[in-house]
Structure 1
């Protein structure tokens, strides 16, 4: 399916309705310009990625256009189509991924240092850059346990799109495509972006590795107890939450009323299981008996989050708890499932073990 993009100018400030005017399409000077724009502002492709390399030389003397990390430590290979055929660029991305998989942590650190030096970045350490971007120490993350591939193009042929879909759906290969188009409006130029597959789906696909089995219908939740949220408040008022970036908050959209969630606090253990009782909402809109959470007695002051922009805001999903534990009595033992994603649908074999173990310890009946 060919993806077509368009932009229309409307006179939003005029109370009189006017005919929308479609902007003319334009061409980027070349794809080197697009690469440069992404280097200047990675949010052009994904605001929740950290660029760590540009024109990275492989051991077989080829160059990867761009490399990035997400908050889960997954390495993202970004390859611009340029003058390659669509099928060739897909094959090349897979070839690069096979090489990336062999890299050690120190090689990725060196890659970032080289990138930061060449581009005179203010932060020259990958550890510091990761902490500044994602708010958590790099030492707590397992880097390169998974990787994703992203093809950047203005368009792809139908057969290549079928190949990408097939690799994702049938073989669990995290490959995606993002399409950019340019438009003009007088002296102004604009850039638009459209993903072939929701990037959250690719992120979810690669979030667990190893043996897989059908998803059991129950969700894993990582609750970041600390600077932005407090488990005692979540327990008392019935919610889970995430924020400080769309990478964290967007996966809350996976949940629907009636879903069962098992909540883990990283480095602490599992602390609760409950049933989702409503949709995702900004924390400033969350009320208990008609009273905003921001006006209730809480362990943490949430009022500062009210003015945050949507992409950085704290979001809440209400939950009716079936069983909870204080952080001091969290359940943790070797072999339990863990993941950095706020919400995921685990297909790792240890997820079934984790759920059955928690059911037994907490005496939770099957749904």
Structure 2
């Protein structure tokens, strides 16, 4: 049955019912959600308003969540006719085909600044490599007729990611309230998703890698002797060990910024076996005077040992001159493929290096 929301004000010991009213205009609710999409109960960044589709229709609001998934929000004032369900499905069929580049283009036209910077401002992290991996369709209304409710519930039963949210507008003398209720609870989300074969993951140029270098390690050591390293468990060592010879690595010190770029010149080795550049002749790293701490037990089966990768630096800066701006890529892995064009473009400018993979 259709969802009904009622509220009472407690005056002394007597509850006084508050009267629900119609929003003055549909644009008022549209404006509320555009300014604060958290009204829906989840952290979202609006990346498009009145987005024109290739078919000449206007999608009310397009938003993205912290996982890079898109949300289509279709608003209708007062009671929602069943046609809006068909409309939101139509929009979903188009949005599901958007590539990563399409999403970024729509967002930057609306936001007026780099998408990556806006994403980090909203969620505190850089956007993931994959955008639009999953899609959520939401009908936003002040009420939903019984027919539309049946259709939405039926579609959800077949895995279509659609839901409806109701905003009841209430006036109490000189105060105004909005009350929210979902047709289906958040833990009852449909298990399906609308997907297409369009590439939604940033392409990799086959050359550039991200390396995280922090903790008790010393950037002065790495810069002087030519290496990067990681340790403390298999999660951290397996990615640094995957760096191939010839890879171009961009080194980021967590919470500080990017400090160097170089080329991998040899395979990863345990700290006790590692040999690094020195002054042109590889020398055992373990015999060098080091500032940082690189735990090792010289045991071949110990996953906590530090693993070292020799690097020939192309350009480096002292840690105090590290480069960072909102939207730059960062990751908890010790090493991973660097796909994000925004980061590569900015780093290329900062270190005066071409980043087209050639």
Is the CA contact 1:26–1:184 (under 8 Å) kept in the aligned structure 2? yes
Deviation at 1:88, TM superposition (A): 0.9
**Deviation per residue, 1:117-174 (Å, 9 max, x gap):** 3xxxxxx222122223223321x341111111000111112222121111112x2110
Question: C-alpha separation between the residues in 2 aligned to 1:88 and 1:200?
Answer: 27
Question: C-alpha separation between the residues in 2 aligned to 1:267 and 1:135?
Answer: 26
Is the CA contact 2:138–2:165 (under 8 Å) kept in the aligned structure 1? yes
What residue in structure 1 maps to residue 175 of structure 2?
188
Deviation at 1:77, TM superposition (A): 0.3
Deviation at 1:205, TM superposition (A): 2.7
**Deviation per residue, 1:246-286 (Å, 9 max, x gap):** xxxxxxxxxxxxxxxxxxx89989xxxxxxxxxxxxxxxxx
Please list, as runs of the form range in 1=range in 2, the aligned pairs for 1:325-344 lying within 5 A after superposition: none
**Mapped pair 1:128 → 2:117:** yes
Q: Is the alpha carbon distance of 1:8 and 1:37 closer, same or farther for their aligned partners in structure 2, counting shifts above 3 Å?
A: same
CA RMSD across the alignment: 3.1
Please list, as runs of the form range in 1=range in 2, the aligned pairs for 1:144-293 lying within 5 A after superposition: 144-169=132-157, 171-202=158-189, 205-206=191-192
Larger proportion of strand: 2
Please list every run of 5 or more consecutive structure 2 residues that lacks an aligned counterpart in the other structure.
197-234, 240-301, 306-358
What residue in structure 1 maps to residue 83 of structure 2?
88
What residue in structure 1 maps to residue 267 of structure 2?
none
Question: C-alpha separation between the residues in 2 aligned to 1:185 and 1:35?
Answer: 22
**Structure 1 stretch displaced more, 81-90 or 52-61:** 81-90
Report the TM-score, using the length of structure 1 for normalisation: 0.51
Question: C-alpha separation between the residues in 2 aligned to 1:67 and 1:100?
Answer: 9
From 35, 41, 48, give the equivalent of 1:40: 35
**Mapped pair 1:18 → 2:4:** no
**Mapped pair 1:111 → 2:111:** no
Is the CA contact 1:67–1:75 (under 8 Å) kept in the aligned structure 2? yes
SS in 1 for 2:13: coil
Question: C-alpha separation between the residues in 1 aligned to 2:165 and 2:129?
Answer: 27
Report the TM-score, using the length of structure 2 for normalisation: 0.52
Please list every run of 5 or more consecutive structure 1 residues that lacks an aligned counterpart in the other structure.
12-16, 118-123, 211-264, 270-325, 330-367
